[in-house]
Amino acid sequence: MIEATLCFPLREWTPDERTGDDRERTDEVLLIEKRRGLGEGWYNGPGGKLENGETPRECAVRETREEVGLAVRNLEKAGELTFTLDGDRHTFCHVYRTRSFDGEPTPSDEARPEWVPIDEVPYDRMWEDDRLWLPAVLEGDTVAGEFRFEGGEPLDEADFADHDLERDVSFEDRS
Ligand SMILES: Nc1[nH]c(=O)nc2c1ncn2[C@H]1C[C@H](O)[C@@H](COP(=O)(O)OP(=O)(O)OP(=O)(O)O)O1
């Protein structure tokens, strides 16, 4: 089974009164348009597979730096997701969010970063399961879920079948 991570950096967007912009204050999330690998062409958070000896948290920090050049800190665990394929556990994914980071998001070979208001997340251009759990993560809740796919490898071409999802999960003492 693959162990992987996703990281969702958040920032507050406030209107600049000098420009007469009358949109409401909102949170924005840093998404990437993935340029290669699993889920290529879709939006997701920065993230990827754990390397040898790495903790999930270290992986999320490394992947965010490699993919979009952002140095994230103080990651808060927001979710644990199991993706199954044809009844077998395929990927276990640790989900983090953070409001602490240094640097400006920069495109790489792997990803094109984009700040998106949290109520404008393009769920129609993401993994089908994301609309089920990501809104809760972006609102500050915690989630644990299993999402079942069918139809054989690769996972991103399989059909999403069904799921179980729990909210308000405690991740204390977990990486
Ligand atoms: N159903 C799903 N919903 C979702 O939102 N993200 C998923 C997902 N299934 C896998 N992922 C994410 C988790 C992880 O960030 C990434 C793993 O994809 P890959 O195996 O292509 O890894 P990457 O190529 O990004 O990583 P590295 O090869 O380690 O750089 O895909």
Within-domain flag for 19? no
Nearest to 81 by CA among 69, 71, 96: 96
User: Within its chain, how far is the Cα of 129 from the centroid?
Assistant: 12
Atom of ligand 1 nearest to the CA of 6: 15
Helix (H) or strand (E) holding 131, with range, is helix 130-138
CATH number of the domain within which 88 lies = 3.90.79.10
Compute the distance between CA of residue 115 and CA of residue 167 in angstroms, rounded to an integer.
25
Number of domains in the chain: 1
Within-domain flag for 135? yes
- Pick the residue whose CA is nearest to atom 3 on ligand 1: 127
- Pick the residue whose CA is nearest to atom 27 on ligand 1: 48
Within-domain flag for 175? no
Q: Is 91 in the pocket of ligand 1 (CB under 6 A)?
A: yes
The whole-number pLDDT of residue 71 equals: 98
Within-domain flag for 111? yes
User: Is residue 79 within 8 Å of 144, Cβ to Cβ?
Assistant: yes
Ligand 1 pocket test: which of 33, 38, 50 has the largest number of ligand atoms within 8 Å of its C-beta?
38
Within-domain flag for 74? yes
Within-domain flag for 137? yes
How many angstroms is it from 7 CA to the middle of ligand 1?
11
The whole-number pLDDT of residue 175 equals: 65
Within-domain flag for 172? no
| Distant-in-sequence, close-in-space partners of 44: CB < 8 Å, separation ≥ 6 | 6, 31, 32, 34, 126, 127, 130
The domain of 73 spans 2-12+26-167
CA end-to-end distance (rounded Å), the chain:
18
Beta strands of 25-158 (E only): which ranges? 26-34, 43-44, 47-49, 71-73, 76-85, 88-98, 100-102, 111-117, 143-150
Helix (H) or strand (E) holding 6, with range, is strand 2-13
How many angstroms is it from 48 CA to the middle of ligand 1?
5
How many angstroms is it from 119 CA to the middle of ligand 1?
23
Within-domain flag for 174? no
Tens of each residue's pLDDT in the chain, 175 residues: 999 999 999 999 888 777 777 778 889 999 999 999 999 999 999 999 999 999 999 999 999 999 999 999 999 999 999 999 999 999 999 999 999 999 999 999 999 999 999 999 999 999 999 999 999 999 999 999 999 999 999 999 999 999 999 999 999 766 6
